[in-house]
Structure 1
Amino acid sequence: MMTIKEKAVTFSWARHAVDKLKTELDFFRSEEILLPEEPGGWWHQYVCPRHHTELIFDAAERDAVVFSCPKGCKLEGEPYRGAWLVYRHQAMARYALQAAAVYAADGEDFYSGLARTILAGYAEQFPLYPVHPDAQPWMLRGRAFHQALTEAIWSTTLIRAYLLLVDHGVTFTAGEEKKLQAFFTMLEESMEQYRRILIHEKKNAENNYTAWLNASLACVYAAKGTGEKLGSLLEGEGGFYHHLSIGVKPDGFEFEGSTYYHIFVLRAYLIAAEMAERFGVDLYDAKGDQGQSIRGMFQLLVKLSGDNGELPALHDGPYARVPFAREIAEVFEIGCAVYKDPTFHPVLAKAYRYLYGQEERTGLEAVLYGQEESMELHSASWKRASVLLPDSGFAILRHPGNPLSVLADFGEHGGSHGHYDKLHITIMHRLGEVAPELGMVPYGSTLRKEWYAETASHNTVSIGGRSQAPHTGSCRQFRQENEDTYLWIRSDGAYEEAVLDRHLLLTDGWLLDWFHVEQVTGREQDREIDWWYHPTGHLLFPVESSRVRTDSPAVLGQEAGYGSVEVLSLLKNETDCALRAGWSTRHGEGGHDPEYEVTVSALLPPGSILHEIRTPGITEDPSRRIRGIMLRHRGPSAHFITVYRAGHEPAVLKLVSQAGGPARIQIEADGQRVAYCLNPEAGLIQEEYRNTEE
């Protein structure tokens, strides 16, 4: 692969990016390099308790005692100070790597000196940190931070900077080298101890911690030149091959079903592979016991991504965040360089678009790992098939003639990073999200458990005002044909003696969503069935004389996320037949992109109530509340039937028959009239009527 210097000479984007990195480091020419003497805390506590947004961090701020919320709140003291210190330590490690990269490009001594000073400073400071006394009981305690996990990540950045300098001929003084080698030895002892506790004492080898402890140790061994120890990180319990076999499902998804932690583990694997390569060991094509691989983990992300490269925020993980976008850029730059797969480009382009507002290679990640000549990363366009991930429990429905796609979740709960969200769907448009998973706030926010992990915050069903139980659903049928893709998923463990079935049918004209709830028995109070829909666009209702607006928004309840839901208006179906209702959402900049509108047609079961609701928004800014729909039906069973269409022309949806036989509906749109009947034994059966009267 090309060196950084070769890239800077050959590629115009690389030269421009290096110059920008140099400008960002210029303030160090007049500023003394100050490393915090205090250890860091837990970054998840760097969050506003009122607005639940991540607090502002300025990497150029040398010290801070007041911490600002983007909404104007000012906070002082702990835990914010400790969390800020995490950011500061991480920023200084990144500055060391950035300075090393600039030196590798241009050979200017100022930048190697800057990196050396930071590295030697931390080498001197690290032994002074005690095992962190303020770490929470559940944590594997670090020294420089509450968590050993944070310490492992931070150490890989520092050691990558050290190795980059050494690779480009930088010689450290005898005093600096002595401090650094002592630092590496202490890191080695700590990480090996953490690894022993996690894998052998706690019996938790599949944890994402393991991947990072392995990565940190691989960096240490590379820095010390002790390649003979690498084998202990590759073989045996908790080794690279074992973790790949137990921490990743056979279909390529990280075992917790979280997009964020999938990338988190993938990044650790790539760092370990980078270090192993220095000893002549190739991990990029390594295989787990059931065929798991690093390449497969990339391909899984491509399968999950939207047409615009956007990754869904499945289970725990931020909806969007600068450090996360940097991680995506890093892993996909490495992936593009190693596997040379153009299908990776849209995800990489989306990360750069979030970071810099443009789909171009720039920034530290591009300089370090980018290998391709093209400055622009045009989103590739090709026909994308529907996907079933049977091991992880996700399915993605796509149709080449429909700009809408849908991702459904029926798999395992996800452990400590899972949500109570079985049969949840994420609806995407080719231009972006329509009704996504909302993401996860930093764990220090009370909304983590009060809203974002609860069933009510997902596009699924809850019963009796309670969240679902942790469980695993099942896929009853998945069928992809030229005309449509059909998915039938089931949950019979969410609520005692209740069966939830969701049928999804995607054609070129619409997405049909048929959610059937059957409660065999149950207490009267448990017969309240709530269907949830959380779009992120501008919600528009037609004028309904029977829709009653509330004088002042009132919350629905106090538990299971209901305390975060305000009711804005009600539409009751007081008839003895299904009532048709509809709404639309406009998306895009300002909410006025005519190509980015989605209409929804719904059938309200007799006696049901449609609630227009307001809830916390996506986790990038929960205080920007969004309007959505909750449809409530009381009874032993319910059919929630909706049709989604791209554009401003809704489908005409009506219930044809139900009493005495299978439920049957009719959809009319684009000059077609199609009837579907729900057969409990065979699934969704289509009967088509083309421009004929019933």
Structure 2
Amino acid sequence: MTTVTRARGGWWHDFVCPTHGTELLEARGDAFVCTYGCELRGEPYASAWLVLEHQAAARLARTAARRFRRHGDPADQAQALAVVREFADYCAEITAEWNRDSESWMLQGKLFKQALTEAIWATQIADAVVVLADEPAARETMGAPVATMLGALLDTIVESRRVLVDDRDDLTSNYVAWLDAAGALITRALAALAAPTPHGDQERWIAQAVEHSAVALGQDGWEWEGSTYYHLFVLRAYLLTFAGADQAALDPALVRRLRRMVDVLVGFAGPDGRLPMLHDGPYDRLGVHLEVLEICVLAGQLWDGTGLDTVEAWARRRIGERHDGLEDLLDGWFSGTPLPAPGDVLDRGSVLFADVGYAVVRSEASSLQAVLDAGPHGGSHGHLDTLALYLYGDGVAWQPAPGVPPYGSALRRGHYARTTAHPTVRADDADQLESSARVERWEVDPATDTTLVQASSDEAIDGVLLERRVESIGGILVDVVRATTTDGSARSFTTAFRPAVPFEVVQHGDGWRTGWSGPAGRRLHGHHVADVASVLVDAPGRGPSDDPTVPLAVGDWTATAPSVTFVSVFAEADESPIASIGLNAGRLVIALADGRTLERELLP
């Protein structure tokens, strides 16, 4: 039975419903359906579906090959060989010319619109070939056709990297990491077939990965764009590049960088292992959970301890019964023994990632975790969300970074990358500018279970200074936001609440109370007061980007003045431990239900 459709793939991001913004589900005959019953036909959906189909076929070949190695069922070997040979036969017809449907900004591919897509697909095919080539009979079955396909793929990878790095002078691009991963695995597969490797051996590609990591990562371990997904994307590419390498022989500087990348995930994850999806990236997608799982499995073979257990457990829960078992077959990825975990393994306290500007605020007394985005815009994958504050709990995303739908959706730039989608400040209902913020105070005191971060930006809104101060005090989270015009003129400022859970607002005295309802009866309580006349509106809005059509209540808190200070106090509990909050002579006074009083300074 034919497994591979003999047609070129397009761009998978086009596989999205233009009406609802959700990724399409599947092909039914010549129709492509969405969750809400839309039936779409023709382009760009057909070629986008082919990307997913070709990638799934490559994953099938990789899984079957590794399952055969583990269990020895000839049917698995036959299935893997059939897929690899069918791709080789089709590629023989098309690899002489570039894909004419590629868009001008893309690196041209041949089997796909993008060479990036081709590289991702090629890593899986090459890994399947390496495993299958263990047996002489299988090597003979693959033979010259497969070697020819791999050689042509390697030519594409080399040319694409030259265009990207030399012609476009873009060595920091995340594409480069994947071109190197594909080059390394294809080279390894050619060697396994005893075929020529005209572009050097695997060491060339590993050396290039070292070069890329030196310029694409900050000292805090983050990939320079500050997008959670692209951080994962690049880390996964690096780990794939080193297939078969001896851990002890890897460049020590590279190993340190990789460890910092892993520590980012450990330090950034929520209490349940959920990774906040800041900036571009799918909010909740099977493919991403599989990628996270692969990173956890491969990193767990590079070191004898990673701290990623909770992250891996979250990914496995989200994948559930949809898992085909591939990642559990990736044993022996490296040729040596795992390196000892460094002694300074990151703990689960509050952490500031100084280069990317993300502050993660935690407390021993509560599962409530706050993430303040006080970093740079993040290039093409950045969002207009300077000084946004995201909130997570154990098993609940209270106010998460919303991610984006597939890029073919107008809602990516039309809503989710805009300021209105994020819990931050906008002026006169306009988007922020592409901007950077700066962290001015960072104080952590484990003895008193307190963390304080203060940050500001005078770039996000023209003529306005934005300041935000977030403090966790024994499980109570205090959030102070101030917007001030530099010329003394009054403007309309709005600070936003963007829950991903049912949300209600009640006016109370001089301020408001908000109730956030999580699963299994979980509750987050908010108490809110401003220093000038203001209105907190409970309005209809969109939730996270995995399903933009789900209506959720959101909050827009607006005041018109030359300067306004918005103060919110949050606590996770069945009943709020906070009786009231108020402002008195420039200080915040929090009256607790147990009779105690907390006083905190506002922004100076």
Q: Choose 1 or 2 for highest CA Rg.
A: 1
Q: 2:13 is matched with which residue? A: 44
* Alignment of 1:532 onto 2:496: yes
* Alignment of 1:642 onto 2:568: yes
Q: 2:339 is matched with which residue? A: none
The DSSP-based 3-state class of the residue aligned with 1:249 is coil
* Alignment of 1:88 onto 2:12: no
Cα displacement string for residues 633-664 of structure 1 (whole angstroms, at most 9, x for unaligned residues): 11111000000011133323333424xxx344
Q: 1:674 is matched with which residue? A: 598
The DSSP-based 3-state class of the residue aligned with 1:171 is helix
1:605–1:678 distance in 2 versus 1, CA, 3 Å: closer
Asked whether the 8 Å contact 1:643–1:653 carries over to 2, the reply is no
For 1:200 and 1:282, how far apart are their aligned partners in 2? 32
For 1:674 and 1:124, how far apart are their aligned partners in 2? 72
What is the root-mean-square deviation of aligned Cα atoms in Å?
A: 2.2
Deviation at 1:540, TM superposition (A): 2.8
Deviation at 1:219, TM superposition (A): 1.1
Asked whether the 8 Å contact 1:498–1:518 carries over to 2, the reply is yes
Q: 2:159 is matched with which residue? A: 193
Q: 1:365 is matched with which residue? A: 327
1:370–1:220 distance in 2 versus 1, CA, 3 Å: closer
1:141–1:669 distance in 2 versus 1, CA, 3 Å: farther
Cα displacement string for residues 608-656 of structure 1 (whole angstroms, at most 9, x for unaligned residues): 1211122121111111121111001111110000000111333233334
The DSSP-based 3-state class of the residue aligned with 2:559 is strand
Deviation at 1:55, TM superposition (A): 0.3
For 2:592 and 2:235, how far apart are their aligned partners in 1? 46
The DSSP-based 3-state class of the residue aligned with 1:195 is helix
For 1:310 and 1:479, how far apart are their aligned partners in 2? 25
* Alignment of 1:132 onto 2:99: yes
Give the partner amino acid of 1:266.
L
1:389–1:182 distance in 2 versus 1, CA, 3 Å: same
Deviation at 1:362, TM superposition (A): 7.2
1:679–1:133 distance in 2 versus 1, CA, 3 Å: closer
Asked whether the 8 Å contact 2:8–2:111 carries over to 1, the reply is yes
For 2:436 and 2:329, how far apart are their aligned partners in 1? 43
Give the partner amino acid of 1:203.
D
Q: 2:510 is matched with which residue? A: 579
2:452 pairs with one of 483, 486, 505: 486
For 1:670 and 1:162, how far apart are their aligned partners in 2? 66
Asked whether the 8 Å contact 2:122–2:182 carries over to 1, the reply is yes
What percent of counterpart residues are identical? 30
Give the partner amino acid of 1:222.
R
2:204 pairs with one of 224, 228, 232: 232
* Alignment of 1:473 onto 2:437: yes
Asked whether the 8 Å contact 2:442–2:451 carries over to 1, the reply is yes
Q: 2:559 is matched with which residue? A: 633
Moved more, 604-613 or 136-145: 604-613
TM-score by length of 2: 0.92
Give the partner amino acid of 2:599.
A
Asked whether the 8 Å contact 1:579–1:606 carries over to 2, the reply is no
Q: 1:35 is matched with which residue? A: 4
Q: 1:121 is matched with which residue? A: 86
Asked whether the 8 Å contact 2:132–2:139 carries over to 1, the reply is no
Deviation at 1:281, TM superposition (A): 7.4
For 1:528 and 1:240, how far apart are their aligned partners in 2? 48
Alignment of 1:179-258 (within 5 A): 179-225=145-191, 226=197, 228-235=200-207, 239-258=208-227
1:166–1:324 distance in 2 versus 1, CA, 3 Å: same
Deviation at 1:367, TM superposition (A): 2.3
Q: 2:71 is matched with which residue? A: 106
Q: 2:427 is matched with which residue? A: 463
Moved more, 342-351 or 204-213: 342-351
Q: 2:130 is matched with which residue? A: 163
Deviation at 1:286, TM superposition (A): 3.8
The DSSP-based 3-state class of the residue aligned with 1:173 is helix
1:642–1:37 distance in 2 versus 1, CA, 3 Å: same
Asked whether the 8 Å contact 1:509–1:669 carries over to 2, the reply is no
For 2:127 and 2:532, how far apart are their aligned partners in 1? 64
Q: 1:270 is matched with which residue? A: 239
For 1:326 and 1:257, how far apart are their aligned partners in 2? 21
Deviation at 1:120, TM superposition (A): 1.3
Deviation at 1:266, TM superposition (A): 0.8
Asked whether the 8 Å contact 2:21–2:547 carries over to 1, the reply is yes
For 1:37 and 1:522, how far apart are their aligned partners in 2? 65
For 1:471 and 1:105, how far apart are their aligned partners in 2? 51
Q: 2:580 is matched with which residue? A: 653
Asked whether the 8 Å contact 2:531–2:565 carries over to 1, the reply is yes
For 2:136 and 2:539, how far apart are their aligned partners in 1? 62
For 1:94 and 1:622, how far apart are their aligned partners in 2? 29
Cα displacement string for residues 139-163 of structure 1 (whole angstroms, at most 9, x for unaligned residues): 1110111111000000010010010
Asked whether the 8 Å contact 1:284–1:295 carries over to 2, the reply is no
Q: 1:404 is matched with which residue? A: 368
Asked whether the 8 Å contact 1:582–1:602 carries over to 2, the reply is yes
Deviation at 1:366, TM superposition (A): 1.4
TM-score by length of 1: 0.80
Asked whether the 8 Å contact 1:503–1:513 carries over to 2, the reply is yes
Deviation at 1:432, TM superposition (A): 2.4
1:286–1:169 distance in 2 versus 1, CA, 3 Å: farther
1:306–1:285 distance in 2 versus 1, CA, 3 Å: farther
- Name stretches of at least 5 consecutive residues in structure 1 with no aligned partner: 1-31, 372-381, 547-577, 681-694
Alignment of 1:356-505 (within 5 A): 356=320, 363-369=325-331, 384-481=348-445, 482-483=447-448, 484-505=450-471
- Name stretches of at least 5 consecutive residues in structure 2 with no aligned partner: 192-196, 334-345
Cα displacement string for residues 392-436 of structure 1 (whole angstroms, at most 9, x for unaligned residues): 111111111122111111111110000011111111112321110
Give the partner amino acid of 2:364.
P
Cα displacement string for residues 283-334 of structure 1 (whole angstroms, at most 9, x for unaligned residues): 766425xx85212211110100011100001110011101111111111011
1:320–1:168 distance in 2 versus 1, CA, 3 Å: farther
1:450–1:532 distance in 2 versus 1, CA, 3 Å: same
The DSSP-based 3-state class of the residue aligned with 1:251 is coil
Asked whether the 8 Å contact 2:376–2:437 carries over to 1, the reply is yes
Q: 1:142 is matched with which residue? A: 109
Asked whether the 8 Å contact 1:206–1:246 carries over to 2, the reply is yes
Asked whether the 8 Å contact 2:538–2:554 carries over to 1, the reply is yes
Give the partner amino acid of 2:169.
K
For 1:611 and 1:580, how far apart are their aligned partners in 2? 12
For 2:329 and 2:165, how far apart are their aligned partners in 1? 36
For 1:128 and 1:670, how far apart are their aligned partners in 2? 76
Give the partner amino acid of 1:108.
D
Cα displacement string for residues 88-135 of structure 1 (whole angstroms, at most 9, x for unaligned residues): 111111111121022112222222121111111111211322311112
Moved more, 124-133 or 444-453: 124-133
The DSSP-based 3-state class of the residue aligned with 2:182 is helix
Cα displacement string for residues 533-581 of structure 1 (whole angstroms, at most 9, x for unaligned residues): 1111111334x5x9xxxxxxxxxxxxxxxxxxxxxxxxxxxxxxx8221
Asked whether the 8 Å contact 2:363–2:475 carries over to 1, the reply is no
1:36–1:181 distance in 2 versus 1, CA, 3 Å: same
For 2:332 and 2:583, how far apart are their aligned partners in 1? 57
The DSSP-based 3-state class of the residue aligned with 1:469 is coil
Asked whether the 8 Å contact 1:249–1:292 carries over to 2, the reply is no
* Alignment of 1:597 onto 2:597: no
1:204–1:76 distance in 2 versus 1, CA, 3 Å: same
